[in-house]
Structure 1
């Protein structure tokens, strides 16, 4: 009994000090416009602490190297969160980071009357060091008058209810803008003002920071590129692609201006509170996570808003190679359901492209989408063809196809491709490799003979053949001989030429 009371006292004392720590950080955080009546007697001491020499583990975003004798323990801890927990625990909660902004961003001046924001962070079995480092970075690097609150939403369920918990956090927030962050982020200097300034200019602009990479192995901080934006492939997987020249031309070469992005990664963005409600928040019929970022991206663009990456805002994110969570039926089942819902509501006839390439999705129970279709009608949203023509003309979907398959597609440009990679042969007798599609034919041009069922590589005048005994995974080129191994049956013909 005595030990139990002692534990309660220790826990209570620890909690008090955590609250005091957060209060002091919030009260004395640097800001652009603070209350002059505030007692600043402790500021010199606080500034001395904050301006300490950056020599600790991970300071200035440097990598943390674990000694050899601790490697085995590190590997065991890694399994808990699918990142290097030992390295994270060694790093200060308020570690210093480099200023990775473009030079033009560092001199920008923002209005004094920016809208304020609530920060919503949903966490599920998160490591304390990464969660608290996220909170510290928000407090330390956000102007006080713009930061209404930080809402930490603990998803205590074993299954995880990502989007539902985000909705709960949004409903409880009081800010004019809602900013969503993941629980393993680090905000950099000047991250918030550019996001809020863009929303002040246009309340229907949904804005994302550049997402910098925090290594899951060393916690090294690496600047993300302002020359990439969000897209998606045939299987409705989010992908990063180079910013096209047309977008550079629209901005007249000014890289400090926001990039109009077809899709967003989904975990980190700011949105006007009232606009978030107007466009239907999140689809409540979607499970946990996966697909909600594309669903919201399509909805924003098709229903009169805009989706942008604000290149003067940088937030780091721990990118994990695998999820530490498990879900009933597996992650694939969850994502397939969510993707089916977004395809049925937003993609019109183009959903058939998705179903041909991912036939397993059609068998998934996706629930009732009548309310989401009614929302689309009420908002008078544009068709998906408009989105492809005006927002994402670079998408692979509107291209003309001879045939679509689950893995490869044969296009009207006579490419054999999957996503943005094409079969490429640079010399006689191979090898056959996958390289980025260049749309210049040449090494990537194959003629299909519908009678002989052959795929002729035009440059070499050889036929695509079955894999050899030496490498049973990769097809090869051989002189055309009419053998069955050189016959390819293309199904799902979508275009007669």
Structure 2
């Protein structure tokens, strides 16, 4: 018997083809269903969101800005107390939603995320992640039955209480793709709030070798630099900037970011800090900033 949870699932989509509809079918076929599904069309040109949807699915649209802006738009439009941000190329387990909601009932200040299986080979499963490199790249943590605190909840599936998320400004105003989940993880830690893996919830994610759109490397690099300026202490900031400097887009990217009002934002973070970034890095990125052998022709693929 299907039951409903007080959840808005927010699917952000850009040039996703049939994957959007397939993900919606998966969510709607689960034993526990959200009361609302919001499809956010981030300026797609392939018609992936231009379908005849059931009346309980809402579509909101914006010009193409990127995943952070799309998810923030969905969060503002959502009408349920819990938001689950879900990539539009996922298949969910029939019971995936209930453990996430139950964890937020116990820990309403938390960010929570499921166990995520590789769509190409479901034997590979991770739950939460930790930072492993100076470009703030991360690695999935091995699945354990105990769950518990993790370094960050990757944005492919992330659940949070809507009011708490919006009260903290949502995702940072990044463009393009990448780093919005890393920046949120650092900010959430500094607020003293938990980030929890929930292995009883399972989502299959189709990791793509190449995204179905051109990658804007400059936008990605600007997101790295924004996150670094806001959060990283001196030695780690220098390591990150050095790694960024090896990319051809670095001069333009760093000029754009330094022209933004990042100093007041940095000061506000310090004023509200309950836990230090240094403590975060010691626990969740212990070796990340010694790894400086970066190939300038490569960067992490967007979701």
TM-score bucket of the superposed structures, by smaller chain: 0.7 to 0.9
Preserved CA contact (<8 Å) 1:295 1:342: yes
* Alpha-carbon distance, 1:226 to partner: 4.9
| Partner residue in 2 for 1:396 | 288
Q: Give 1:121-160 correspondences, 5 Å limit.
A: 121-128=11-18, 130-144=19-33, 147-156=34-43, 159-160=64-65
| TM-score normalized by the length of structure 2 | 0.80
Preserved CA contact (<8 Å) 2:99 2:200: yes
* Alpha-carbon distance, 1:279 to partner: 2.3
Where is the strand percentage greater, Structure 1 or Structure 2?
Answer: 2
Instruction: Tell me the distance in 2 between the aligned counterparts of 1:337 and 1:308.
Output: 28
Instruction: Tell me the distance in 2 between the aligned counterparts of 1:150 and 1:405.
Output: 42
Instruction: Tell me the distance in 1 between the aligned counterparts of 2:130 and 2:278.
Output: 18
* Alpha-carbon distance, 1:195 to partner: 0.6
Query: In the superposition, relative to structure 1, how do residues 230 and 264 fare at CA in structure 2: closer, same or farther (>3 Å)?
Result: farther
| Partner residue in 2 for 1:298 | 186
Instruction: Tell me the distance in 2 between the aligned counterparts of 1:241 and 1:230.
Output: 7
Which has the higher Rg, Structure 1 or Structure 2? 1
Query: Of the two structures, which has the highest relative contact order with CA contacts closer than 8 Å and spacing of 6 or more?
Result: 2
Instruction: Tell me the distance in 2 between the aligned counterparts of 1:359 and 1:338.
Output: 14
The correspondence for 1:326, drawn from 204, 208, 214, is 214
Structure 2, unaligned runs of 5 or more = 46-63, 296-303
Preserved CA contact (<8 Å) 1:348 1:383: no
Instruction: Tell me the distance in 2 between the aligned counterparts of 1:378 and 1:256.
Output: 37
Matched, 1:256 2:145: yes
Preserved CA contact (<8 Å) 1:195 1:313: yes
Query: In the superposition, relative to structure 1, how do residues 228 and 206 fare at CA in structure 2: closer, same or farther (>3 Å)?
Result: closer
Residue-by-residue CA offset, 1:330-361 (whole Å, 9 max, x unaligned): x3211110010010001121211212333247
Structure 1, unaligned runs of 5 or more = 1-29, 35-114, 216-220, 244-254, 409-497
Instruction: Tell me the distance in 1 between the aligned counterparts of 2:265 and 2:162.
Output: 20
Q: Give 1:138-217 correspondences, 5 Å limit.
A: 138-144=27-33, 147-156=34-43, 159-215=64-120
State the aligned residue count. 269
Instruction: Tell me the distance in 2 between the aligned counterparts of 1:182 and 1:393.
Output: 25
- Aligned alpha-carbon RMSD (Å): 2.5
| Partner residue in 2 for 1:240 | 140
Q: Give 1:421-436 correspondences, 5 Å limit.
A: none
| TM-score normalized by the length of structure 1 | 0.50
